[in-house]
Structures are given as structure tokens and as C-alpha cells.
Amino acid sequence: MTDLLAAIPEAPEPDWATAFRMPIVECGEPMEALGTSQGFLVWPAYHRLGIPNALPECHARAGVFARLLQAAKLLPDGLRLVVLDAWRPFAVQQHLYDTLYDILRQHEPNADPAELTRRTREFVAPPSTRAEAPSPHLTGGAVDISLCDQDGRWLDMGSLFDEATPRSYTRHYEDATDGHGRAIRDRRRLLFNVMREVGFSNLSSEWWHYDYGDQLWAWHTGAPAAIYGPAQVPSLEQLWRQQLHNLRP
């Protein structure tokens, strides 16, 4: 069993070009609604924030759901996981990427476009629906999570969810010397270690972002291939068509 307060190791920024070249051997796991869980809380952040096309429910692959339940059971008494986002429609991914890029460009109008792209990618993955290189959240393998107490009150994690500043880097508080900073450090360590214990990898620029089964996870962990490619939350029409198709002799 991993020490749940072990230090968070240093990790490089993702090499997106290399990660997107990782092979995908799709395992066919279904997507599941996370809001039915009794083991953790779900708060669909982008829907609550009014982001266009964001869904009122969080969906993820069955294997991700199972590992979230395992991680929740590893937490000390009185703490709970909160899922903020999981599978994400492409329109939402594009909106987040474009919006952050434009804000950074307005803030620093003389910045080099390549540097703006790099900084945008720290907090929003490049939008892609390509079968061989989908954005992590489009696979159902990526989740954004935080911690709350037993009554559902958010814990201070040192930055806001999706805050585009260095405070969001997972290791930002590792060298904290004051009591408040050390408390944040320990919460981030706890979240990091329970998620790693059940098989997730973390995006080093976002303390809240974890992957399982997608190309970013394969790149981080050294797995030979990703097991999740692009996924969809099926509409009722699609379900009816599939059901009728399955009835054919």
C-alpha cells in the first residue's frame, strides 16, 4: 500500500506529439453515468458554469468508474471525492481551448504564438476528434476531481479548479513551509497517491486532472498502448437504432 502522504514526484510536461502517436487498442468498455454513484459526489462544473454544450451529467468508461470507487475507499474517514468533469463533447473542448488562448493573447499581446500555445496546453489539451489521436476527455478516460468533507463542503486545494496559474501545478505546494501551505500540500498528496494507487496518472500542470486508459496515461505510465479511443455518450435515437439492429436475424 502506498504511503498516502508521500511526496509528489517531479514530472515533465506532456510531449503531446509523442503522446498522440501512442497506439490505441480499443477495449470496447461502455460509457457509464457517474451520477448514480453512492461512493463519490458528482458536480458537473462546466454545465453549472454555463459553458455551451456542456452536459448536466458526468460520464466515463466503466473501468474509470470502478477505479474512482476504489480510490474513494482509500480516503481517510470524513473525506470524499468529487468528480467535476469526465467525458467532454468536442464543442466544449474547443470552446475551452479557444477561450483560454484568446485570454492569454489579450493579456500578453506581444507574446510569441508558440509560447501562447504551450501555455494554453498546460491547462487545456489540444482539441482533437481524430480516431488515432483524440483529446483525453473525449475518450471517457480522463477525469477532473477534487476533495470535500463528509458534508460536501469543498476543501481548499490551493487554487480554483481550472485556474490558469502556476498555483494549479500539482507540485506547487511541495516546498511549503507555513501551516496553510503544508495543509494544501498534504491534500494534494492524498489525492495524488490514492489515484495513482488505483492506476491513474496525473497531468503535472493540473492537480485535478487524472487519466486512465487514454494516450496520455499510456505516455505517462509506459504502457504499450492506450485502451480507450474516441467515445460517445449515445443518444436515445442511437440506442433505439442499435437495439433494432441487434434484433435482426
From the list 175, 159, 179, 156, the residue with the least C-alpha distance to 167 is: 159
How many other C-beta atoms are found inside a 10 Å radius of the C-beta of residue 156?
10
DSSP β-bridge partners for residue 148: 80, 154
Residues 161 and 84 sit within 8 Å (Cβ to Cβ): yes
Instruction: Supply the DSSP symbol for 179.
Output: H
Instruction: List the binding residues for Zn(2+).
Output: 137, 144, 209
State yes or no: is 174 an active-site residue: no
DSSP for 58-127 reads -EEEHHHHHHHHHHHHHSPTTEEEEEEE-S--HHHHHHHHHHHHHHHHHHSTTS-HHHHHHHHHHHSPPP
Assigned C-alpha cell, 214: 487514454
Q: Is 136 helix (H, G, I), strand (E, B) or coil?
A: helix
Sole residue written with cell 490551493: 158
The type of residue at 70 is: Q
Give CA–CA dist 234/213, Å, rounded. Answer: 20
Assigned C-alpha cell, 29: 468498455
Residues 74 and 197 sit within 8 Å (Cβ to Cβ): yes
Q: Which is the catalytic residue, given 29, 32, 122, 206?
A: 206
From the list 231, 210, 205, 193, the residue with the least C-alpha distance to 7 is: 193
For the annotated catalytic residues, the residue numbers are: 206
